[in-house]
Amino acid sequence: MLDNCTISHKGGLVLWSRSFTPTAATLSRSNASPVNNLIREALIEGRSSEDRYEKDGYAVRWTLANDLELIFVVAYQRILQLSYVEDLLTAIKTLFIKLYAPFLTKFVASLHAQANAAPTEVADASPSWDFASAFKDWDKVFDKVLRELEQKANQERRLRTRQLTGSTALGASMSGNESFNEEHPERGSGATTPAKDATSPLDGQEIAKNIAHLKTRMKGRNSTSGKKGKGGGAGSGSDSDVSKRQSSLRGAKSKRTWGDVVPTEDDMSALDFSTDKPSDLPSAGVLDTLVDEKSRGVKKDGVYEIRDWEFSKQASREVDEDLDDFISKTLRETSLNSTGPTTSSEAQPGYISSLFSKLTGLAGSTRPLTQQDLGPVLAGMKEHLMKKNVARDIAERVCDGVGKSLEGKKVGGLRSIRGEVHAALEDAITRILTPKTSTDILHAIRQKKLTTMTTTRAGGESKMEPYSITFVGVNGVGKSTNLSKVAFWLLQNDFRVLIAACDTFRSGAVEQLRVHVRNLGMLVNKETVEDDKGKKIDLYEKGYGKDAAGIAKDAIAYAKEEGFDVVLIDTAGRMQDNEPLMRALAKLVALNQPDKIVFVGEALVGNEAVDQLTKFDRALKDFSKGEGKSGRGIDGMLVTKWDTVDDKVGAALSMTFVTGQPILFVGCGQTYTDLRQLRVSNVVQALLSD
C-alpha cells in the first residue's frame, strides 16, 4: 500500500497530495517528509540519476516533467515490493499533464515573471489559483488509475500462481517465474481492492497476452536490478523485439486491450463523470472554471487545440467511455511501451510550448529536449569529466542526473543543446561542491569555547572543552604533514594547539610529529612572545603499540587541563578494506566524539576515491554506532598534493559527491603555509575548462 503521492512544482508549491494513512499524512506535513528528504538529499545533491531513494524505512520513487517543472513523487513502505509504482508514476504524469496542461502552463508561466517581458498586470488572485479546487477531479482519475494498476498486479500474481499449478505449455515458457515470485513475495499483496479475476473471463488469447506482458516486465526488471538501481524505468530494459511482438499482438487482437480487460463495472461507476452532469467533466467544468477566459481566447487563436485528448472536444459524447478510454490507453502505453518516465513528456503536444513561450514572452521557437538530443552531448561531458580525473562512476552519475533534469525541457532557439547541457552541468557541479554545512572552523572553535565556558561557570573554575579534529585516511597521503599545516594556521589565529600522536603503528610516526611540533614552536616563538599560559603548541605522545582511542582520550583530557584550544588527532593510515583497523578507528571516534572527522586524501586519486571514501564513511558510521548514539561519518576532506594535478581536479568532485561533505582544506606544497581553502567557482572552472 502506498503512503503518499504528491504532485508539486519545483519551486516548492504542492499542487496535489494524498496520504493513505494518518501517520503518512502527519509525516508528509513535517519538515522530514519523504518529499523534503528526497529533494534535499537526492535532487539538490545531484543524485537524481538514481531511480529510487530510501530513508527511514520508506522508499521514494519519482519522475520529473521538466517542461512544466513538475515533480511526481510516490512514497511507500520499503518492505513492500510494489511492482506498479513505476507504472503509476508514468501514468499519473501523462494523465495529469494532459488533463491540466492549460492551467499548468499558465501557472508555471506565472512563476517566471520577467521584469522586461511580463504583462504589467499582476497574476490576478482569482479563485482560479486555488489548487484544491483546480485539481479536485483529479482524485477520481487518480483513484481509477491506482485501482487498475493494483488489479493488474493482482491479476498477474494470480496468473502466475495458476500457471505454476496447472497450464503446461504456458508454464514451461515461464521458467524464470519462480525466482521472480520469490524475489517479490509481497508483490501486489498491498492492493486493497478485491481481486476480480475469479469472475472475469480469461480466454487463451488474453492469457498469452498477459504472459507476454509479464515477460516484458520481468525482462525490464531483471536488467534494471542488474544495473544496480541505475537507469530508467521498470521496463527500460525491454528491447525492440519485445515491443515489436507486443505491437503485433495488439494489432492482431482487434479491440481488446488491457484497458478493456481490467476495468470492471465497479470502476466505471466509480468514475462519477456521468453524462447527465456535464459540469463535472474535466473538460467543461474544471478547465473552464480554472482557466476562465483563457480557453476561449486561446481557441480563437487556434492554439488551444488538444488533438490527442479527444473527449475535451466533444462534451456531448459519452464521456465516461472517453475518459475510460483515455485512462486505459495511457495505462496501456505505460506498461506496454516500456516507457521510461520521459516518453510521455516527449509526446507532449506542441501547444504547451507555444503557449508557454507566449506567456513567458520568451522569443524563438522552443522544443523539448529528448534523450536522443542529450545522449551524445552528455557522453561527451562524461568523457570530459573523466579526463579531469573525476571517477568514472561519479562522472556517469552526475551526467545522468543532468540528463534527467533536462529531458523534456523546452529550449529556445537561441541556445544550443550543448550550451544548455553545459549550463546545467555547471549548475550541478556547483551544487555538489558547495558545502551544506558551515566550513568556518575558526568560528566553530570559538563557539565551542564560549558555550563550554558558560556551562561551567557555575562551578567556578572555567575550563573549556578543547575542539578536537581527527585526521583519517589511507597510508601515505600526507596526513601528518597536512595536520601540521592546519596546526600552523591555528597558531596564526592565536589558538593553543595540542597534537595527539595516535599513530601508534607505523614506526617513525611519532618522531615525525615531534619534529613538526619543534619546528612550529620555533616559528611561533619567533613571531609572538610566549604568553603566560604556557606552550602554544605541544605534542601528546605515548609511544607505539598502545591503544589509539585511549591515547586520544587522555590527550583531550590533558588539553582541557592545560588550556589548549584545539586537539589535532593524528591516526595511523589504513586501507579501507582492513576491517579490524577500521573498527579500531571507529572505536576512537565513538569514544572521543571529535568535533570534526577529516578525511585526508590525495588529489591524484582517480577511481579509487569512490571506494576509499565510501568505505571509510560506511565503516565509521557502522562501527561507531552505540546504544542510542548514531554513528559518525566523515565531516569533511583535506585534499593533498593539489599542486601536482594542474587542472585535473576531478578528485574534488568525486570526494564531495560520495560523502556529501565539503573540502575543508587543500594542501598545495611542502611548507607550513601551503594550505588553502577551496573556492568552489575555481574548481568548477577548472573542471569545465578545455
Partner 1 sequence: MDELKRVDTYSLILGSVLLACVLVAGETSRLEIVDSRRAKSGSIVLLVGPSDGGKTAIFSSLVYNHAPPTHTSLQQNVAFFRSPSPFHRKPLQVVDIPGHPRIRGQFTDFFQENGKSKNIGGVKAVIFVCDAAALTRNASTVAEHLHLVMHAISNLPPSATPPPLLVFANKADVLTSASKSKTPNTALAVTRTTTILERELEKRRLNSIKSNTAVLGELGDEGGEDDTVGGLDVTEGDAFTFDKWDGGVVTIRSGWVDIQRPRKAHGGHDTASEDDEPKEKDTVVDPTVPKKDGLAELVDWIATLR
Q: Does residue 39 interact with partner 1 by CB under 8 A? A: yes
420-439 residues in contact with partner 1 (CB under 8 A) are 431-432, 434-438
CB of 143 to partner 1, least distance (A): 7
Please choose which of Mg ion, partner 1, none residue 98 contacts, taking the beta carbon within 5 to 8 angstroms, the exact cut-off set by kind: none
Which of 1, 3, 7, 12 binds Mg ion (CB under 5 A)? It is: 12
Interactions with partner 1, residue window 50-89 (CB under 8 A): 69, 71
Tell me whether residue 1 or residue 591 sits nearer to partner 1 (CB atom): 1
Cell 588553502, located at residue? 676
* 14 or 444: CB nearest Mg ion: 14
Q: What are the start-end ranges of the H helices in 166-306?
A: 168-172, 177-183, 204-226, 240-252, 258-261, 265-270, 288-291, 293-301
**537 sits near partner 1 (criterion: CB under 8 A):** no
Cell of 576: 579501507
With CB cut-offs between 5 and 8 Å by kind, which of Mg ion, partner 1, none does residue 119 bind?
partner 1
Q: Which of 12, 563 has the CB closer to Mg ion?
A: 12
Whose Cβ is closer to partner 1: residue 45's or residue 611's?
45
Phi first, then psi, for residue 118 (nearest 5°) are: -80, 160
Minimum Å distance from CB 684 to partner 1? 11
674, three cell numbers: 601551503
Residues 254 to 293 in contact with partner 1, rule: CB under 8 A: 266, 270, 272, 291-293
Binding partner 1 by CB under 8 A: which of 295, 337, 512, 519? 295
Residue 520 contact among partner 1, Mg ion, none, beta carbon within 5 to 8 Å by kind: none
In the range 492-531, which residues lie near partner 1 by CB under 8 A? 492-494
Residues 646-665 that bind partner 1 (CB under 8 A): 665
User: How many alpha carbons fall within 13 Å on the CB side of residue 288?
Assistant: 12
Stretch that binds partner 1, among 319-327, 414-422, 484-492, 509-517 (CB under 8 A): 484-492
Question: Smallest gap, in angstroms, from Cβ of residue 601 to Mg ion?
Answer: 35
Distance CA 665, CA 474 (A): 17
Tell me which of Mg ion, partner 1, none is bound by residue 181, counting a contact when its beta carbon lies within the kind-specific cut-off of 5 to 8 angstroms: none
Binding of partner 1 at residue 555 (CB under 8 A)? no
List 57, 120, 204, 460, residue binding partner 1 (CB under 8 A): 120
Interface residue with partner 1 among 106, 152, 332, 409 (CB under 8 A) is 106
Binding residues with Mg ion: total (CB under 5 A): 1
129 contributes a contact to partner 1 by CB under 8 A: yes
CB of 371 to Mg ion, least distance (A): 30
Cβ-based nearer residue to partner 1, 172 or 414: 414
Q: Does an H or E element contain 492, and which?
A: helix 479-492
Chosen from Mg ion, partner 1, none, partner binding at 193 (C-beta under 5 to 8 Å by type): partner 1
Stretch near partner 1 under the rule CB under 8 A, chosen from 126-134, 273-281, 367-375, 531-539: 126-134
In angstroms, the Cα distances linking 113 to 11, 53, 119, 406 are 13, 33, 8, 21
Residue 575 interacting entry, from partner 1, Mg ion, none, C-beta within 5 to 8 Å by type = none
With contact defined as beta carbons under 8 Å apart, do 128 and 98 qualify?
no
Interface pattern 3-32 for partner 1 (x via CB under 8 A): ---x-x-xxxxxx-xxxxxx-xx---x-x-
Q: Which residues of 626-655 are buried (b: 16+ CB within 10 A; e: fewer)?
A: eeeeebbbbbbbbbbbbeebeebbbbbbbb
User: Distance (Å, rounded) from C-alpha 620 to C-alpha 524?
Assistant: 35
Is residue 365 a contact residue for partner 1 (CB under 8 A)?
no
Residues between 155 and 194 with contacts to partner 1, criterion CB under 8 A? 192-193
Q: What is the nearest approach in angstroms of partner 1 to the Cβ of residue 122?
A: 4
* One-letter identity of residue 336: L
Between 147 and 574, name the residue whose CB sits nearer to partner 1. Answer: 147
Please identify which residue in the block is written with the cell numbers 488491457: 258
Q: What are the CA-CA distances from residue 269 to residues 138, 144, 218, 494 (Å)?
A: 16, 10, 33, 78
Residues 671-690 that bind Mg ion (CB under 5 A): none
| Candidate ranges 5-13, 17-25, 153-161, 635-643; the one touching Mg ion (CB under 5 A) | 5-13
Quick one: what does residue 175 bind among partner 1, Mg ion, none, with the CB cut-off 5 to 8 Å set by partner type?
none
| Amino acid symbol at 156 | E
Q: Does residue 570 contact residue 609 with C-beta atoms inside 8 Å?
A: no
* AA letter at 342: T
Q: Which does 359 bind (CB under 5 to 8 A by kind): partner 1, Mg ion, none?
A: partner 1
Strand ordering across the sheet containing 2-9: 2-9, 70-77, 58-65, 53-55
Least distance from Mg ion to the Cβ atom of residue 13, Å = 8
Indicate the residue among 464 and 668 with the shorter CB distance to partner 1: 668
CB of 39 to Mg ion, least distance (A): 10
Lookup: cell for 522:
620555533
Q: CB-hemisphere CA count at 13 Å for 356?
A: 25
Q: 75 in helix, strand or coil? A: strand
- Closest to partner 1 by CB, 48 vs 504, is 48
Instruction: Choose the contact partner of 447 out of partner 1, Mg ion, none; CB within 5 to 8 A by kind.
Output: partner 1
- For residue 581, the number of C-alpha atoms closer than 13 Å in the C-beta half-sphere is 19
Place of cell 568556518: 440
Q: Rounded to an integer, what is the distance from CA 67 to the centroid of its chain?
A: 19
Pick from 65, 477, 637, 675: which binds partner 1 (CB under 8 A)? 675
Please report where in the chains the cell 542488474 appears, as a residue. 226
Nearer to partner 1 by Cβ, of 93 and 147: the residue is: 147
Cβ distance 595 to 448 under 8 Å?
Answer: yes
Q: Pick from 52, 55, 140, 422: which binds partner 1 (CB under 8 A)?
A: 140
Our CA angle for 501, 504, 509, nearest 5°, is 65
Buried b (16+ CB within 10 A) or exposed e, 142-174: bebbbbbbbbbbbbbbebbeebeeebeebbeeb
Choose from partner 1, Mg ion, none: what does 6 bind? Cβ within 5-8 Å by kind: partner 1
Q: Which stretch binds Mg ion (CB under 5 A): 11-19, 481-489, 602-610, 665-673?
A: 11-19
For residue 454, state whether it binds partner 1 (rule: CB under 8 A).
no
In terms of phi and psi (left: phi > 0; alpha: psi -120 to 50; beta: otherwise), the region of 191 is beta
Q: Residue 111 interacts with partner 1 (CB under 8 A)?
A: yes
CA distance 650 to 658: 12
Q: Which is nearer to partner 1, 270 or 575 (CB)?
A: 270
H-only helix segments in 337-434: 343-346, 350-360, 371-387, 392-406, 417-433
Question: Which residues lie near Mg ion (CB under 5 A)?
Answer: 12
